[in-house]
Amino acid sequence: MTCDASSGPTAPAPPAASPAATPAPVWRPAGPRRRSWRTLRVRTSVVVIAAVVLAVLVVPPLVQLDQQAVDLGLKLRPPGWAHPFGTDELGRDLLLRCVHGLRVSLFVGVAAALVAAVLGTAVGALAGTLGGWVDRALMRTVDAIASVPHLLLGVFVVALWRPGVFPVLISIAATHWLSTARIVRAEVLSLRSRPYIDAAISGGASRWRVAVRHLVPAVLPQAGLAAVLSVPHAMWHESALSFLGLGLPTHMASLGNLIEDARGSLLAGQWWPTLFPGLFLVIPTLAVAGLAGVWRERINPRRRSELML
């Protein structure tokens, strides 16, 4: 009598692996190639920013040349030993005018970013601390302002005053505090659930004291990062307004005015009056973005450059 193998008892099937039994991903330090790339990015950004600061603070007082000096005999000279960046349509040295333009644009960008950071931090901390109808009203205001294009809103604000530094600064600050307010509000809402905040409230601390002593200092790194990232954006905003003829007065050598003045030269085949002011905008922007990325990794508990799946 033969026994059919299919009719005999079968071995129990192995239990299916539950999702909870799935091993968690293992985080390990990044390899040397990634660390070397991060180090190179940081060093390059530091060198570029140091060069920008040196050019803005040291070069103009030392150079005994008038940036407004006109010499039509040197009109639109290409880059050379005498003029490394060439000359503009009035024979003025383009390197010196780019440095002066960078000073003006950087001043407007830094001032507008600081004003926007203070305003955004105040609004975000107020919304996150009070909550309720105050939070809803402030956030709906932020959403309403964010729904309008920044450049269009900046044009509207500038149109209320005569061309100058103050209207441009106000127009940029009025459109760049929104992201800071949202970031600070999110951080405050996250911190409100921490045990030490509950302990401070249980100990009799008022809501304002908790906000001033604990919440606002904790969100300052995030607000500072937002302010740093707003500087190049504000510089581009100022340059766009000046390029459209709505920003700084034409006699001020901002980068936007330099690019606007070079439009006719570019159509005639002279590329240097447009290229070098554009580089003075792009290169500091990339340097600030590189350092801001490292700053973000420092304040983020899971740093992408140091941990890798």
**pLDDT at residue 31, as a whole number:** 55
CA distance linking residue 93 with residue 87, whole number of Å: 5
**235 closest CA partner among 167, 285, 165:** 285
- Which class is 52-63+93-298 in CATH? mainly alpha
**pLDDT at residue 12, as a whole number:** 53
Q: Is the pLDDT of residue 63 over 70?
A: no
**266-291: per-residue pLDDT in tens?**
777 788 888 888 898 888 888 887 77
CA distance linking residue 136 with residue 125, whole number of Å: 13
Per DSSP, 245 falls in state: T
Q: SS3 for 87?
A: strand
∠ CA 276-277-281 to the nearest 5 degrees?
110
Contact by Cβ (8 Å): 102, 256: no
**pLDDT at residue 24, as a whole number:** 46
Which stretches of 107-166 are assigned E, i.e. beta strand? none
**131-165: per-residue pLDDT in tens?**
889 889 999 999 988 888 888 888 888 878 877 78
Q: Is the pLDDT of residue 123 over 50?
A: yes
User: What is the reported pTM?
Assistant: 0.74
Domain boundaries of the chain, sorted by first residue: 52-63+93-298
| Of 74 and 259, the one with more pLDDT | 259
